Amino acid sequence: MSLVTRSLEVIRGHQAPTGAYPASPTFSAYRGYSWLRDGAFIAEGVSRHGDAEGAVEGATAFHAWCARVVGDRAGQVEALIARPGAPSPAEMLPTRFTLDGLDGTDEWWDFQLDGYGTWLWALAEHTARHGVTVPGADKAVRVAARYLTAFWHLPCYDWWEEHLDRRHVATLGAVHAGLRAAVRLGVLPAADAEAARRAISAIAELIAAEGVAPAGHLRKWLGGDAVDASVLSCVVPFGLYAPDHPVGAATVAEIERRLAVGGGVHRYLEDTFYGGGRWVLLAGLLGWNHARAGRREEAARYLEWMAAQATPSGDLPEQVSDVLLAPERLQEWVDRWGPVATPLLWSHGMYLILADELGVRP
């Protein structure tokens, strides 16, 4: 069985009846929860293989689940917008939900804006690709766009549930892409569409002013010195900078120089989570950038490395622990949450995306 076929099987087999994609069905900290960010990339991978049995229906079901989750919180969003002053992080919409679409009861680093932007981007990609109608999407797009337009400027947790006090470039890139998608979908009232356009311009101007390092590459957060592999998304797929733009090209080159090792990709140099291993999904993201830039041989090497990390049963992990940035920190995470999350459905989704970019089919 090819890993494309196996990835589709893993994702389809674990998708909840509600349409939600669990981040990892067995990992103690993720079990029973679905993230908009993870799920959006998973759905994009599935959607790209629409000739496979149930693929279009599965991706559509996920987007319909998101539409219900976001649409059901319209009143909460309006209340947040109406209140004076900035809401506290605890008052904002969650980053993850139970598979039934409810707020979770477990404590989590919950205020993250990027998932809402990433979902809008993925929804627009899926509906344009297959011409499908997602139930409830119009209302949810309006809710998500109003939420992001009102609060994009606030500090929040990043992709990795860290650094609440920072404004993260990858988060801003996701919001930028999501608002562009919302405008493109054509369901926003005129005033909301205009407000979204203003936010899109302001985000681009802010990143250009504070999110680009003197060396010309994107920073991990505004005004900082660190780099983070998540900013690859600002090039491909979010398109804040094109692959051949000087900032886009410098960002991909800097991430590869500093964070890529032997086909795998670290999150950032100070990472200590499970010892700071190499992430399978980030190899897919870097390979995706290479593929879009026409560097197919480089992209293929990342796809091959991803496949080589699969277990004998064909499950892809979140990260691998053979090359660690902080090996002395591995055991504390194993003791806390158990072995590395395997399978991680986001890893399988990214494998499907890169495989599609390179024309690898089942």
Choosing from 161, 162, 210, 298, the catalytic residue is 161
Helices (H), 52-152: 55-71, 74-82, 114-130, 137-151
Distance CA 104, CA 111 (A): 13
CA R_g for the chain: 19
Spatial neighbors of 211 by CB under 8 A, at least 6 apart, are: 169, 172, 218, 219, 221, 222
Q: Where are the beta strands (DSSP E) in 268-353?
A: 278-279, 319-320
Q: Is 194 a catalytic residue?
A: no
Q: Is 110 a catalytic residue?
A: no
Distances (CA, A) of 12 to 8, 19, 28, 49, 55: 6, 10, 21, 12, 8
Distance CA 247, CA 235 (A): 9
Distances (CA, A) of 227 to 42, 61, 292, 334, 337: 25, 35, 21, 26, 27
- Which two structure tokens, joined as six digits, stand for 288? 């995706």
Backbone φ and ψ for 98, nearest 5 degrees, come out as -65, 165
Choosing from 110, 125, 158, 228, the catalytic residue is 158
Distance CA 141, CA 186 (A): 10
Q: Which residue has the tokens 């926003």?
A: 188
Q: Is 357 a catalytic residue?
A: no
Choosing from 110, 318, 356, 357, the catalytic residue is 318
Q: Describe the crossing of helices 3-14 and 345-357 by its angle, rounded to 10 degrees.
A: 140
CA dihedral (186, 191, 193, 196) in degrees, to 10, reads -160
Distances (CA, A) of 91 to 25, 86, 139: 28, 10, 21
Spatial neighbors of 319 by CB under 8 A, at least 6 apart, are: 274, 277, 278, 279, 280, 340
- Which two structure tokens, joined as six digits, stand for 234? 């600002």
Q: Three-state DSSP class for 218?
A: strand
CA dihedral (72, 83, 40, 218) in degrees, to 10, reads 180
Residues tagged active-site: 158, 161, 318
